[in-house]
């Protein structure tokens, strides 16, 4: 290998965390000007690997070569100075600060001991224009959408004139067409000569962008492949270590009576005139852009926020939901989008998490906790969803994303009066293996006659699992497609069309 071919090369890198080897002699080669995908299940060591490259973690063993020269980063600063910038999975923005402040954090333009705000604002404007961003440098980051925050992060990476940009699951919180925007940006960067490392669970990302892909599994390097030469199945096998025969095990279910209906529900600023219905045994997908109001509708159904108007019926009876407890009592169970912040109490044991919603039911006299009953019950449901855990007292934080999601499912199953399950992005950030298991559970639930609402931005999942698909755009339901008529094109069209026409009206 010559100096010119690889801009970045890592050899035999080992990183040890208390109790675990997070990386075990992994290697990696990045060519100049290429987009290189890095794939693997959660916990395979991708994120740790990225942090070694960016100097956040110091590796115990191994060598890193930048443009052929060996480098040792003592901290993130060194990596930044060397031209490596990263956009992390969870946007690492400063929510209380402006876009400009965020972009230039750590490398402000300083002249004569003074930060040059004017110059920085102008430069930020320029960067945002280059990315076709629709927000201002003076906007506060906390008020922006996740996609916009991600764009700011990319602008930040660009502002350092980085030679290597690392994108850690940038599309995880983006919808299809937002992803498309991102693809364009990445293409543009590559054309400008920037080398890019791209981590993603989505195969579409990889096919669309990358020329080569490196796979990690269980903290080890498995292999590097040319994207156009490897099949989907082989790649999955490389990642999971076994073959997955049927990704979307959609069972044949006799769809029953209507059990759930939303009528003309509105909440100012979030959604308007939303009507949705669900039948027993039916999986109803809801998709659309992030910010289209999908999650917000379901939160209002479950009493987390208050809708301004509209009615909700469960099994023909109108519900009066004021707080989450009310909807749960009625039999509606929500699996929230963010496991770590909404779904679980990470510092708690699994068992306690599972029984939290039903603790009153289990308690003696409704007051005193019945630990024996609780433990038995949580054991039963955790085993039912096949959680990888030793005891029910393991803290939820010790599990991987997929297993955490299983705990959330167990928590839902434990609610014995459940009639309707609402799953908000059930496979977000979940690796391939666990994804299949979650789909299987979903199928089982449908078979048992529960109604299921699945909010998702992932097209294959929506197409693979739903009986019907509602598409939302800008707070309104723009269409409802049967399984037979749902295609990627139609859904995409519905999720954008309405917005465009609305915007036109607003201009007039």
Partner 1 sequence: MAGKSGRSIKAEEKLTAKKLLFTWEGALILLFIAVNIFNMSISQSYTFANVLREMPKYLAEMFMVLPMAYILVLGDIDISVGSIVCLTGTLTCYISNAGAPFPVVILGCLGTGLLCGAFNGFITTSFPELPSMITTLGSQIIFRGIAEISLGGGGSVSYTNTKQIMPLSTKLGKTVPVIILVVMLAAVIFTVVLQRTTFGRSLYAIGSNKVSAFYAGVDVKRCRFIAYVLMGFMAGMCGLFLTAYTYGANTTTGQGFEMEVIAMCVFGGIASTGGKGTLVGGIIAGLIITLLRIALGQANVNSQMILVIVGALLIIAVLIPGIKGRFDELKKLRAAA
Partner 2 sequence: MENRSLFKKITGSREALLTFVLLVLGIFITVLNPTFFSPVNIGQIFRNNALTMIMALGMLCVMLTAGIDISITSTLAFAGMSIGMLTKYNIVNNTFLLFLIAMVIGCFCGMLNGLIISKGKVAPIICTMGFMYIWRGMAYVVGNSQFASGEDVREFAEFGKDGTIGPYIILIVCYALFFWMLKWTKFGRKIYAVGSNAEAARISGINVDNTLISVYTMMGTLAGLAGALSVSIYASAQPNMQYGREMDVIAACVIGGVSMSGGRGSVAGTFLGALIISIIAKALPLINVPSIAQNTVKGVIILFVVIFNVITQRMVDRQNLERREM
Where along the sequence are the contacts to partner 1 (CB under 8 A)? 16-21, 60, 304, 323-325, 328, 334, 336, 341-348, 350-352, 356-357, 359-360, 363, 366-369, 375-376, 378-379, 382-393, 411, 437, 440-441, 443-444
502 binds, among partner 2, partner 1, none (CB under 5 to 8 A by kind): partner 2
CB 420 within 8 A of CB 391: no
Provide the minimum distance between the beta carbon of 184 and partner 2 in the complex, in angstroms, as a whole number: 26
- Helices within 260-323 (DSSP H only): 294-301
Provide the minimum distance between the beta carbon of 333 and partner 1 in the complex, in angstroms, as a whole number: 10
CB 98 within 8 A of CB 73: no
305 binds, among partner 1, partner 2, none (CB under 5 to 8 A by kind): none
Applying CB under 8 A, which of residues 195, 300, 378, 474 lies at the interface with partner 2? 474
Residue 75 or 223: the one with the smaller Cβ distance to partner 2 is: 75
DSSP, residue by residue, 64-84: EEETTEE---SSHHHHHHTTE
Residue 78 or 444: the one with the smaller Cβ distance to partner 2 is: 78
Site for partner 2 in 39-58 (CB under 8 A): 51, 54-56
376 binds, among partner 1, partner 2, none (CB under 5 to 8 A by kind): partner 1
The SS3 of residue 276 is strand
- Helices within 210-341 (DSSP H only): 232-240, 294-301, 324-330
Residue 160 or 340: the one with the smaller Cβ distance to partner 1 is: 340
Applying CB under 8 A, which of residues 421, 475, 479, 496 lies at the interface with partner 2? 475
Site for partner 2 in 114-143 (CB under 8 A): 114-115
Residue 166 or 436: the one with the smaller Cβ distance to partner 1 is: 436
Q: How far apart are CA 465 and CA 206, in angstroms?
A: 22
Residue 176 or 353: the one with the smaller Cβ distance to partner 1 is: 353
Residues 269-288: x/- map of binding to partner 2 (CB under 8 A)? xxxx----------------
* Distance (Å) of CA 398 to CA 335, 349, 388, 393, 485: 20, 9, 10, 11, 42
Q: What angle do CA 144, 150, 152 make, to 5 degrees?
A: 75
- Residue 198, beta-bridge partner list: 37, 167
CB 213 within 8 A of CB 37: yes
CB 428 within 8 A of CB 171: no
Site for partner 2 in 229-268 (CB under 8 A): 268
The torsion angles phi and psi of 37, rounded to 5 degrees, stand at: -85, 145
Q: Write out 133-149 in H/E/C secondary structure.
A: CCCCCCCEHHHCCHHHH
Q: How far apart are CA 79 and CA 63, in angstroms?
A: 14
- Which residue has 């916009």 as its token pair? 148
Provide the minimum distance between the beta carbon of 55 and partner 2 in the complex, in angstroms, as a whole number: 7
Provide the minimum distance between the beta carbon of 464 and partner 1 in the complex, in angstroms, as a whole number: 16
Provide the minimum distance between the beta carbon of 77 and partner 2 in the complex, in angstroms, as a whole number: 4
| Structure tokens that stand for 206 in this block | 């990889």
Nearest CA to 172 out of 197, 201, 198 is that of 201
Q: How far apart are CA 192 and CA 188, in angstroms?
A: 6
CB 438 within 8 A of CB 426: yes
| Structure tokens that stand for 367 in this block | 């007051």
- CA–chain centroid gap for 233, Å, is 23
| Structure tokens that stand for 497 in this block | 């069309």
Residue 75 is a binding residue for partner 2 (CB under 8 A): yes
451 binds, among partner 2, partner 1, none (CB under 5 to 8 A by kind): none
Query: Considering CB under 8 A, how many residues would be counted as binding partner 2?
Result: 38
Applying CB under 8 A, which of residues 33, 62, 68, 76 lies at the interface with partner 2? 76
235 binds, among partner 2, partner 1, none (CB under 5 to 8 A by kind): none
Cα pseudo-dihedral 266, 272, 273, 274, rounded to 10: -90
CB 287 within 8 A of CB 495: yes
93 binds, among partner 2, partner 1, none (CB under 5 to 8 A by kind): partner 2
| Structure tokens that stand for 435 in this block | 């994804």
Applying CB under 8 A, which of residues 331, 476, 477, 478 lies at the interface with partner 2? 476
Provide the minimum distance between the beta carbon of 299 and partner 2 in the complex, in angstroms, as a whole number: 15
506 binds, among partner 2, partner 1, none (CB under 5 to 8 A by kind): partner 2
Site for partner 2 in 88-107 (CB under 8 A): 88, 92-97, 101, 105-106
122 binds, among partner 2, partner 1, none (CB under 5 to 8 A by kind): none
Provide the minimum distance between the beta carbon of 216 and partner 1 in the complex, in angstroms, as a whole number: 18
Kindly state the DSSP code that residue 319 receives in the 8-state scheme.
Answer: P
Provide the minimum distance between the beta carbon of 289 and partner 2 in the complex, in angstroms, as a whole number: 14
Residue 324 or 499: the one with the smaller Cβ distance to partner 1 is: 324
Provide the minimum distance between the beta carbon of 375 and partner 1 in the complex, in angstroms, as a whole number: 4
| Structure tokens that stand for 40 in this block | 């693997």
Kindly state the DSSP code that residue 154 receives in the 8-state scheme.
Answer: H
Residue 80 or 350: the one with the smaller Cβ distance to partner 2 is: 80
Residue 206 or 471: the one with the smaller Cβ distance to partner 2 is: 471
Site residues (vs partner 2, CB under 8 A): 51, 54-56, 75-80, 86, 88, 92-97, 101, 105-106, 108, 110, 113-115, 268-272, 474-476, 502-503, 505-506
């Amino acid at each position: 290998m010559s100096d010119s071919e690889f801009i970045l090369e890592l050899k035999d890198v080992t990183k040890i965390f208390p109790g675990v080897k997070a990386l075990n002699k992994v290697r990696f080669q990045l060519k100049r000007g290429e987009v290189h995908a890095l794939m693997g299940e959660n916990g395979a060591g991708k994120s740790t690997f990225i942090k070694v490259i960016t100097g956040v973690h110091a590796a115990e063993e191994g060598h890193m070569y930048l443009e052929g020269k060996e480098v040792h980063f003592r901290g993130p600063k060194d990596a930044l100075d060397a031209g490596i910038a990263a956009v992390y999975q969870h946007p690492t923005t400063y929510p209380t600060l402006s876009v400009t402040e965020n972009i230039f954090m750590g490398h402000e333009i300083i002249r004569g001991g003074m930060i040059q705000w004017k110059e920085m604002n102008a430069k930020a404007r320029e960067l945002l224009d280059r990315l076709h961003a629709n927000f201002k440098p003076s906007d506060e980051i906390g008020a922006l959408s996740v996609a916009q925050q991600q764009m700011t992060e990319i602008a930040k990476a660009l502002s350092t004139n980085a030679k290597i940009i690392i994108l850690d699951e940038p599309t995880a919180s983006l919808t299809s067409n937002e992803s498309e925007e991102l693809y364009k940006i990445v293409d543009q960067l590559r054309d400008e000569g920037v080398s890019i490392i791209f981590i993603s669970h989505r195969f579409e990302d990889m096919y669309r962008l990358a020329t080569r892909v490196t796979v990690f599994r269980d903290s080890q390097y498995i292999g590097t492949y040319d994207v156009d030469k490897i099949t989907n199945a082989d790649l999955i096998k490389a990642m999971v270590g076994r073959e997955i025969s049927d990704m979307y095990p959609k069972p044949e279910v006799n769809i029953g009576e209507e059990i759930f209906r939303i009528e003309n529900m509105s909440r100012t600023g979030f959604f308007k005139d939303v009507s949705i219905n669900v039948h027993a045994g039916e999986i109803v997908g809801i998709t659309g852009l992030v910010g289209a109001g999908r999650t917000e509708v379901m939160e209002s159904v479950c009493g987390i926020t208050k809708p301004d108007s509209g009615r909700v019926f469960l099994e023909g009876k109108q519900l009066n939901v004021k707080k989450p407890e009310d909807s749960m009592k009625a039999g509606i169970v929500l699996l929230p989008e963010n496991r770590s912040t909404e779904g679980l109490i990470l510092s708690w044991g699994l068992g306690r998490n599972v029984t939290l919603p039903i603790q009153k039911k289990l308690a003696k006299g409704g007051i005193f906790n019945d630990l024996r009953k609780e433990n038995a019950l949580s054991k039963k449901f955790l085993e039912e969803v096949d959680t990888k855990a030793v005891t029910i007292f393991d803290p939820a934080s010790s599990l991987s994303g997929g297993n955490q999601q299983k705990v959330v499912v167990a928590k839902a199953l434990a609610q014995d009066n459940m009639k309707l399950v609402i799953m908000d992005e059930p496979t977000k950030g979940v690796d391939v293996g666990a994804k299949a298991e979650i789909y299987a559970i979903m199928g089982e639930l449908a078979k048992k006659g529960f109604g299921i609402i699945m909010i998702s931005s992932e097209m294959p999942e929506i197409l693979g699992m739903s009986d019907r698909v509602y598409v939302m755009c800008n707070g309104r339901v723009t269409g409802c497609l049967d399984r037979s008529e749902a295609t990627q094109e139609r859904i995409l069209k519905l999720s954008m069309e309405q917005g465009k026409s609305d915007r036109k009206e607003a201009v007039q």
